[in-house]
């Protein structure tokens, strides 16, 4: 039976750090709904974000440059549109499970100061089992020979532990090996108690 790595990682923009300590981790969808976007929120969460956005309260939402609509459309399962995918991802909170991916993400964040949070991955996933999923690759990137993806790509942690990547495979395609390590832990909801599972913090200026 596969098991999650012991640690999961999440970068917090320094502009958001105070609110994360007070309120936990919010999805992009929730951040927008708490802001002054009003009736425009539905359209915004379904739109591509080519540049980062600073909200009226000072919090910052990262760009989605690795997911341009045309590239994303080519790798989505039938019946899904780029707007659907943006809305799905904007409702989630993401954690890296691979330290190498953490370092690559760190390099891609540019000059904005960050706080790297290290979590007890297993305790976090267990506490949020109803919304905890794993992915076999970075589902926030649609460039460089992007893998096909859909709702099947977010595999509930309990299901993955019981049956591996069986449900993620397309019909008549081979199932990923059970040894294939998940790239991300994805919680499909806000995580108000996130700080309870933090085991280390690192400030990156």
> What pLDDT is stored for residue 63 in this prediction?
94
Q: What is the pLDDT of residues 130-164, one digit of tens each?
A: 999 999 999 999 998 899 999 999 999 999 999 99
pLDDT for the residue 145: 86
The pLDDT value recorded for residue 144 is 84
Q: pLDDT band at 111, cuts 50/70/90? A: confident
Going by C-alpha positions, the residue among 12, 8, 4 that lies closest to residue 106 is 12
Write the DSSP assignment of 29-68 as a string of letters: HHHHHTTT-GGGHHHHHTS---S-EE-TTS-EE---TT--
Output the pLDDT for position 109. Answer: 84
Highest average pLDDT, of 33-42, 43-52, 101-110, comes from: 43-52
pLDDT score at 88: 97
Q: What is the pLDDT of residue 42?
A: 82
Spatial contact of 44 and 114, defined as CB atoms under 8 Å apart:
no
Give residue limits of the domains in the chain: 7-204
Please give the pLDDT value at position 38.
61
The whole-model pTM stands at: 0.95
What tens digit of pLDDT does each residue of 182-198 get? Answer: 999 999 999 999 999 99
Confidence of residue 106 (pLDDT cuts 50, 70, 90): confident
Q: Nearest 5 degrees, angle CA 75-CA 10-CA 195?
A: 135
- Beta pairing partners, 204: 114
């Amino acid at each position: 039976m596969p098991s999650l790595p012991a640690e999961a990682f999440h970068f917090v923009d320094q502009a958001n750090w105070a609110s994360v300590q007070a309120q936990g981790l919010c999805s992009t969808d929730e951040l927008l709904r708490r802001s002054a976007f009003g009736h425009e929120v539905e359209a915004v969460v379904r739109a591509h974000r080519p540049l980062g956005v600073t909200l009226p309260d000072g919090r910052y939402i990262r760009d989605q440059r690795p997911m341009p609509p045309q590239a994303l459309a080519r790798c989505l399962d039938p019946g899904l549109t780029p707007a659907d995918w943006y809305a799905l991802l904007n409702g989630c909170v993401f954690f890296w499970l691979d330290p190498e991916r953490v370092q690559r993400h760190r390099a891609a964040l540019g000059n904005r100061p960050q706080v790297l949070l290290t979590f007890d991955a297993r305790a976090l996933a267990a506490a949020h089992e109803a919304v905890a999923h794993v992915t076999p690759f970075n589902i926030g990137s649609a460039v460089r020979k992007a893998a096909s993806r859909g709702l099947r790509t977010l595999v509930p942690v309990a299901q993955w532990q019981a049956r591996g990547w069986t449900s993620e495979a397309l019909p008549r395609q081979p199932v990923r090996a059970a040894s294939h390590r998940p790239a991300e832990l994805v919680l499909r909801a806000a995580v108000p108690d996130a700080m309870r599972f933090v085991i280390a913090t690192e400030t990156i200026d």
